[in-house]
C-alpha cells in the first residue's frame, strides 16, 4: 500500500498512525497539494490528502473512508466498534477530534491564503475557540481515563489516535493558544501516545 500526503496534515497522520497500530506495512509518499497541484490531482480529483493506494491499485480518498476500509479488513482488531452504542460512542469522540483538527486547519489557512491586512481575525479566533472547545471536551474524557487508560473501553481505539493527533497538531500549528495548559489531561494522554511506535513513526515533519 501507499499512503499519499505529509504527516504535517493531521488527517494523513491519523491514517498513518492507524496503519502502524494495526501492523500494516505501507510506503509513505509525500505529496503537498498546494505545491504539487497536478501530482495531487492525479491521485485524488478533489486535490486533497490523504489518499491510500491499495495493493491492487485502487485508490481510496478521505481519511474517514480510508479508516472505514481498514477497520473492515482488520476484523477483531478494528479500531472502531462495529455496531451499537460502543460504535456511536467512539465515533462521537472521533467526530469531536476531527472537528478540532478542521478548525485548527481553518485558522491556519486564513493566515496562509490572505494578505496580512485581509486576514479576518474574528474568523481566526472563532476557529481557534472551536478547536479549544473540542479539546476541552476530550480533556474531560482523558481525565476519566487516568494515567494509563483509554478514551473508550479497555483497548486503543480510533478515538485515542484521532484525539492525540488533534492535540499535537494544534500545539504545533497554533502555539500561542497554549493548549497544553488549557487541556492538561489531554496533553498528558497525547504525550503517552506520542511515545508509542505508531506515533514515533509518523512524527510531524
Residue 102 grid coordinates: 478542521
Residues with Cβ < 8 Å from 168, sequence gap 6 or more?
A: 10, 190, 194, 204
Q: Indicate whether 158 belongs to any domain.
A: yes
Mean pLDDT calculated for residue range 28-36: 94
- 154 vs 152: CA distance, rounded Å: 7
Domain boundary pick from 13, 45, 77 = 77
Confidence (pTM)? 0.95
Residues 107 and 50 in one domain: no
Q: What is the pLDDT of residues 3-23, one digit of tens each?
A: 999 999 999 999 999 999 999
Residue 149 grid coordinates: 487508560
- 54 vs 2: CA distance, rounded Å: 7
Would you say residue 184 has pLDDT above 90?
Answer: yes
C-alpha to C-alpha distances, 47 to 1, 38, 131, 166, 200, nearest whole angstrom? 19, 8, 24, 22, 27
Residues with Cβ < 8 Å from 184, sequence gap 6 or more?
A: 139
Query: What total number of domains does the chain contain?
Result: 2
Whether residue 11 contacts residue 63, with contact meaning beta carbons closer than 8 Å, is answered with yes
- Which pLDDT belongs to residue 15? 98
Q: What is the pLDDT of residues 41-71, one digit of tens each?
A: 999 999 999 999 999 999 999 999 999 999 9
Residues 35 and 119 in one domain: no
Residues 121 and 97 in one domain: yes
Whether residue 131 contacts residue 104, with contact meaning beta carbons closer than 8 Å, is answered with yes
- 57 vs 34: CA distance, rounded Å: 24
Residues 66 and 165 in one domain: no
Residues 63 and 128 in one domain: no
| DSSP secondary structure of 23-38 | T---EEE---TTT-HH
Residues 60 and 132 in one domain: no
Mean pLDDT calculated for residue range 29-49: 95
Residues 15 and 68 in one domain: yes
Q: Indicate whether 137 belongs to any domain.
A: yes
Mean pLDDT calculated for residue range 74-89: 97
Residues 73 and 162 in one domain: no
Residues 12 and 88 in one domain: no
Residues 30 and 13 in one domain: yes
Would you say residue 205 has pLDDT above 80?
Answer: no
Residues 140 and 70 in one domain: no
Which CATH number goes with the domain that contains 55? 3.40.30.10
Q: What is the pLDDT of residues 136-155, one digit of tens each?
A: 999 999 999 999 999 999 99
Residues 40 and 93 in one domain: no
Domain limits for position 30: 2-77
Residues in the chain: 205
- Which pLDDT belongs to residue 113? 65
Q: What number of other Cβ atoms are within 10 A of residue 129's Cβ?
A: 13
Q: Where are the beta strands (DSSP E) in the chain?
A: 2-4, 27-29, 51-53, 59-61
Find, among 6, 19, 26, 63, the residue nearest to 197 by Cα: 19
Q: What is the pLDDT of residues 92-138, one digit of tens each?
A: 999 999 999 999 999 988 777 667 777 688 988 999 999 999 999 99
Domain boundary pick from 15, 42, 77 = 77
pLDDT level of residue 34 (50, 70, 90 thresholds): confident
Q: What is the pLDDT of residues 127-141, one digit of tens each?
A: 999 999 999 999 999
Whether residue 1 contacts residue 55, with contact meaning beta carbons closer than 8 Å, is answered with yes
Mean pLDDT calculated for residue range 153-159: 97
Q: Indicate whether 181 belongs to any domain.
A: yes
Which CATH number goes with the domain that contains 162? 1.20.1050.10
Amino acid at each position: 500500500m501507499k499512503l499519499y500526503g505529509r504527516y504535517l496534515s493531521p488527517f494523513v497522520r491519523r491514517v498513518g498512525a492507524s496503519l502502524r497500530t494495526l501492523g500494516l506495512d505501507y510506503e509513505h509518499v509525500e505529496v503537498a497539494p498546494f505545491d504539487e497541484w497536478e501530482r495531487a490531482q492525479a491521485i485524488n480529483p478533489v486535490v486533497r490528502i490523504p489518499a491510500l493506494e491499495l495493493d491492487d491499485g485502487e485508490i481510496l480518498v478521505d481519511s474517514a473512508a480510508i479508516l472505514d476500509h481498514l477497520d473492515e479488513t482488520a476484523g477483531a482488531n478494528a479500531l472502531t466498534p462495529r455496531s451499537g452504542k460502543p460504535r456511536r460512542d467512539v465515533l462521537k469522540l472521533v467526530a469531536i477530534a476531527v472537528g478540532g483538527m478542521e478548525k485548527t486547519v481553518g485558522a491556519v489557512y486564513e493566515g496562509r491564503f490572505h494578505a496580512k491586512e485581509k486576514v479576518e481575525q474574528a474568523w481566526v479566533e472563532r476557529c481557534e475557540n472551536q478547536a479549544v472547545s473540542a479539546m476541552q471536551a476530550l480533556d474531560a474524557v482523558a481525565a476519566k481515563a487516568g494515567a494509563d487508560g483509554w478514551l473508550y473501553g479497555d483497548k486503543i481505539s480510533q478515538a485515542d489516535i484521532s484525539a492525540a493527533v488533534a492535540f499535537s497538531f494544534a500545539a504545533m500549528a497554533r502555539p500561542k493558544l497554549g493548549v497544553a495548559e488549557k487541556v492538561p489531561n489531554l496533553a498528558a494522554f497525547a504525550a503517552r501516545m506520542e511515545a508509542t511506535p505508531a506515533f514515533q513513526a509518523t512524527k510531524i515533519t
